[in-house]
Amino acid sequence: MNKSLPKVTIVRTGSANMASMMAGFIRVGADVNLTDDPEVVFDADALVLPGVGSFGATIKRLYAAELVEPLRQRILEDRVTLAVCLGMQLLCAESEESAGLPGLGVVDVRVERFDAGLRIPHLGWNDVISDPAVSLVEPGCAYFANSYRLADPPAGWTVATTDYGVPFISAMQRGRVLACQFHPELSGTWGSDLLKRWLDSSCRPEEVGSC
Amino acid sequence: MLKNRIIPCLDVRDGRVVKGVQFQNLRDAGDPVELAVAYEAQGADELVLLDVSATAEGRRAQCETIRRVRRELGIALTVGGGIRTVDDVRWLLEAGADKVSINTAAVDEPERIALMAEQFGVQCTVLAIDAQLNEAKTGWTVLTHAGTITANLDVLQWAVEAVGLGAGEVLLTSWDRDGTQSGYDLELLRSVRSAVNVPIIASGGASNADDLQQAFEAGADAVLAASIFHDRHFTVNDLKAQLASANVEVRT
């Protein structure tokens, strides 16, 4: 049996929190590498699309690096993918943050800013209300840092929600693709457990426990 | 519901955590990695790591300290102290900070706040304000250079300007209360709270759960404390248990 570490490939989005994301996966026993190679992005066994910062700047970098198509394709083909924070928003058609710039468009919704009356950014720990249908996300408390959010569940995805004045989508899952508005890598043991579950989902059934 | 946060602060000098009042008479308080791990296990919601090194070598050692802490830490890490340029911010983020706080560098050149927010996002752009009651006792003045220089700048005006430029959070330290364990400066907190609508971390003066509760009620989203944790008066979870029983929303 192959006892090598499970491999995680993180897309080099130019985002600011790479060190935390890498450390989060190393702590759960993964072999982490970074890439901005379109072929590797498409082929990786388990791919993470991280992101903090602005929607517009990041999507422009993804287009410039020719990563938009491979990302879109692997998600449509249900390859194991985790999109985090801005990464989740990048899956959408567009964002109020950067009007006129299309996102990956695998989710046909528009990302909107939290209502003006709320304290923005939404920063800190908040409850995640999940459902067994979102098999990778247990109910719990997660760490957030976002000013924009998905208001409504996208068609075809199961969702977890969080309340900040109004409920918003804090995670969504479709097959082997998971997107989280919160930061699992900064959500303590609850977050590490989530990363571990997602990583396990990247193993084919016959390999579980050995890859 | 969004939780009120408790944030232990590690003042780090030349790779060791130190404690003292207003950076005077510093005493050793331990290894940053060991303390960071212990505080996460105790229920800390985030950590703040402030560089109080006196020397250039000490500051250079800070990146290595952050790397070491990052490897072990599963919660958010804010780093501050001695940051001069936007490139410094980038190095700290690459070393493993999630947020970076700037004070003197922002006062010297407010445009740095906008640059940081643009390049790294508002959520990682933290404005640190060291506030001191002014001589007429009519308001608060901004201090820079670790409290050694009085800037000709009103705290409330500065907070509004900096948030307008892109600061996503304010780390508000009462220089009058820092190290005194006489409670947070609630007047200062209420004033800044009514001036800006971004998260505020209250700092300076914590001695017990009542102080924390009062700070949250005065408008703080998070409270920072150092000596009550280093001196083991309480664990973070001790304080959270007391706050929860007083119906303050905390992550337990």
Q: Do B96 and A16 touch (CB under 8 A)?
A: no
Best mutation target, A125, A149, A196, to test chain B (most B CBs within 10 A):
A125
pLDDT given at position B19: 85
Q: Is B130 a catalytic residue?
A: yes
State yes or no: pLDDT of A145 exceeds 90: yes
Mean pLDDT of chain B: 94
Given the residues B11, B45, B51, B221, select the one marked as catalytic: B11
pLDDT at site A204: 57
For residue B21, pLDDT beyond 80: no
User: pLDDT-derived band of residue A54, with 50, 70 and 90 as boundaries?
Assistant: confident
> Quick check: is B11 catalytic?
yes
Please state which of the ranges A35-49, A103-117, B12-26 shows the lowest mean pLDDT: B12-26
Continuous segment of H or E residues that includes residue B131: strand B125-133
**Residues of A carrying an active site annotation:** 85, 183, 185
What are the residues whose beta carbons fall under 8 Å from the beta carbon of B55, sequence distance 6 or more?
A: B14
Is B123:A182 a contact under the CB 8 Å cutoff? no
Specify the DSSP element, H or E, that contains B71.
helix B56-72
CATH top class, domain B5-245: alpha beta
Position A205 pLDDT exceeds 70: no
Share of chain A above pLDDT 70, in %: 94
For chain B, give the percent of residues with pLDDT over 90: 84
Give the Cα separation of A99 and B188 in Å (integer).
Answer: 38
Cβ pair B93:A53 closer than 8 A: no
| Chain-chain contact of B1 with A126 (C-beta, under 8 angstroms) | yes
Residue type, A68: V
Residue B212 has a pLDDT of 98
A–B CB contacts, 8 A cutoff, strictly below: 105
- Average pLDDT of the residues in B101-118: 95
Contacts of B220 (CB under 8 A, 6+ apart): B4, B184, B189, B193, B200, B201, B202
Residue A24's region, left for phi above 0, alpha for psi from -120 to 50, else beta, is alpha
Q: How far is A5 from chain B (nearest CA, A)?
A: 18
Q: What residues of B are in contact with residue A167 (Cβ under 8 Å)?
A: none
Phi, psi of A2 (to 5 degrees): -80, 115
Q: What distance in Å separates residue B92's CA from the closest CA in chain A?
A: 10
Cβ–Cβ gap A52/B1 under 8 Å = no
Per-residue model confidence as pLDDT tens digits over A122-139: 999 999 999 899 999 999
Can you give the pLDDT at residue A53? 80
pLDDT of residue A211 exceeding 60, the answer is: no
Residue B22: its pLDDT value, please? 62
Q: How far is A139 from chain B (nearest CA, A)?
A: 13
Other Cβ atoms less than 10 A from the Cβ of A4: the count is 9
Residue B57 has pLDDT above 90, yes or no: no
Q: Considering the candidates B45, B51, B88, B130, report the single residue annotated as catalytic.
A: B130
pLDDT at A1 (0 to 100): 44
Confidence of residue B61 (pLDDT cuts 50, 70, 90): confident
Given a cut of 90, is residue A111 above it in pLDDT? yes
Q: Interface pTM (ipTM) of the complex?
A: 0.95
pLDDT digits (tens, 9 = 90+) for A183-204: 999 999 999 999 999 999 887 5
CB B1 within 8 A of CB B13: no
Read off the pLDDT of residues B98-108 as tens digits, 9 standing for 90 and up: 999 999 999 99
User: Is B124 close to A52, i.e. CB distance below 8 A?
Assistant: yes
- Report whether pLDDT(B251) > 50: yes
- Residue A210, pLDDT > 70, answer no
Around Cβ B138, how many Cβ atoms within 10 Å? Answer: 8
Domain positions in chain B are 5-245
Q: What is the mean pLDDT of chain A?
A: 92
* Residue of A115, A143, A148 for testing the chain B interface, max B β-carbons within 10 Å: A143
Distance CA B205, CA B202 (A): 9
Contact B185, B211 (CB under 8 A): no
CB–CB contact B74 A189 (8 Å): yes
Q: How far is the alpha carbon of B90 from chain A, nearest alpha carbon, in Å?
A: 8
Q: How many helices (H) and strands (E) does chain B have?
A: 10, 12
Residue A3, pLDDT above cutoff 90 = no
Residue of A20, A55, A161 to mutate, testing the B interface (most B Cβ within 10 Å of its Cβ): A20
What domains can be seen in chain A, in order of their start residue? 7-207 (3.40.50.880)
